[in-house]
Structure 1
Amino acid sequence: MVASAQHKEQIVLGRITTVYGVKGWVKVHSYTEPMDNILDYPQWTLKQQGRLQTVEIDQARRHGKGLVVHLKGCEDREIARTYTGSEILVERSQLPELEAGEYYWHQLQGLKVLVDSEAESGRADALLLGKVAQLMETGANDVLVVRACKGSIDERERLVPYLQDQVVKEVNLDEGFIRVDWDPEF
């Protein structure tokens, strides 16, 4: 039997941080919002040191500020320990469709961040601040972490609030950029 060569695109939704108890449970750090949405996917692909392994969740619950999960067939602490540090992946096609103007964080990472500037000639030129390295939650709003890249105006890292219509004026996934109204000196 020949395996299909088709590659299914996967997205990281969280990671297994440590063991919990002695009966094979693990603690999970979820990147989903809300955090329990990671439990909507009963089958995960775990990636650890380049190796992939498919597992199934058979029990899960909130614990403190996080989640604890029991993986099917994992009945002791030492087996659970082998999963620690694993990234939790699911197929991108399994993610729910978003409304127009909404984006998953993974879609924004790597996009160029452009700011409009009035040039001396009176026309608007776009300045490249850098690329989105990651996003952070701050409670009030999400924040783009913008790091310098080839062609950016300087070598600074910037934190730009992800406030649609106020700061973020345009997200263009096809062209690979986010246009912001932001002071480049900030």
Structure 2
Amino acid sequence: MVVLGKIAGPHGLQGAVRVYPFADDPLAWSRLPQWWLGREGEAPESWRPTRLIKCDLRNEMLLAQLECVADRSAAEAAAGLLVGVPHQALPPTAADEYYWADLIGLEVVNTHGQSLGRILGLIETPANAVLRVGDGQGAERLLPFVAAVV
């Protein structure tokens, strides 16, 4: 499952939700007919699909109407859920592009050829993305995902 964003809470009284996007072009999601909802750490097969009825971008947040969210109470209950799609549902990338999910599990090697571990995840910050790199023994490093470092 490729995580696209996180439901931040309700919008209005009709069951719309505010979604904090984790992608460069979140409006492209509106072309995906179905989204999946789940919680962090849940197995992909436990995520539940829902039809996307409407999706707009406002102030860097997506406002989405989902089939499974009927009213404001349901939208409040959905806060904190992750929004994702199976990798095969995403459009193909250009030669010099990738999805963050494609990086998870890749080995990180320094300029001396020493392994620093594998990518566990990415963190979006206002300045740049940050790689979470785990050494397999519980230690983690945070590496800025910028050309000077990567």
**Length-normalised TM-score, structure 1:** 0.65
Structure 1 or 2: larger helix share?
Answer: 2
Equivalenced residue count is: 145
Unaligned runs of 5+ in 1: 1-9, 118-125, 169-186
Report the alpha carbon displacement of residue 137 of structure 1 after superposing the two structures with TM: 4.2
- Paired letter, 1:103: Y
- Measured in 1, the distance between the counterparts of 2:126 and 2:84 equals 25
Distance (Å, rounded) in 2 between the aligned partners of 1:104 and 1:73: 27
TM-score, structure 2 as length reference:
0.77
Aligned to 2:80: 85
1:23-73, CA deviations, whole angstroms, 9 ceiling, x for partnerless residues?
Answer: 111111122212222222121121248543221122222222311111236
- Return the alpha-carbon distance in structure 1 between the equivalents of residues 101 and 77 of structure 2: 27
Which one of the candidate residues 128, 141, 145 is aligned to 1:161?
Answer: 145
Among 115, 119, 125, which residue is 1:128 paired with?
A: 115
- Give CA deviations for 1:108-157 in whole Å, capped at 9, x if unaligned: 1221211232xxxxxxxx2112222222445665443333334xxxx562
Counterpart in the other structure of 2:60 = 65
Aligned to 2:5: 14
Paired with 2:75 and 2:127, the residues of 1 have a C-alpha distance of 36
Question: Which consecutive residues of structure 2, in runs of 5 or more, have no partner in the other structure?
Answer: none
2:134 and 2:23 mapped to 1: Cα distance? 23
Give the aligned partner of residue 100 of structure 2: 105
CA distance in 2, matches of 1:134, 1:52: 19
Determine what percentage of the aligned residue pairs are the same residue.
30
Separation of aligned partners in 2, 1:158 and 1:73: 37
| Alignment CA distance shift 1:147-1:55 (3 Å) | same
Cα displacement string for residues 94-118 of structure 1 (whole angstroms, at most 9, x for unaligned residues) = 212222343211111221211232x
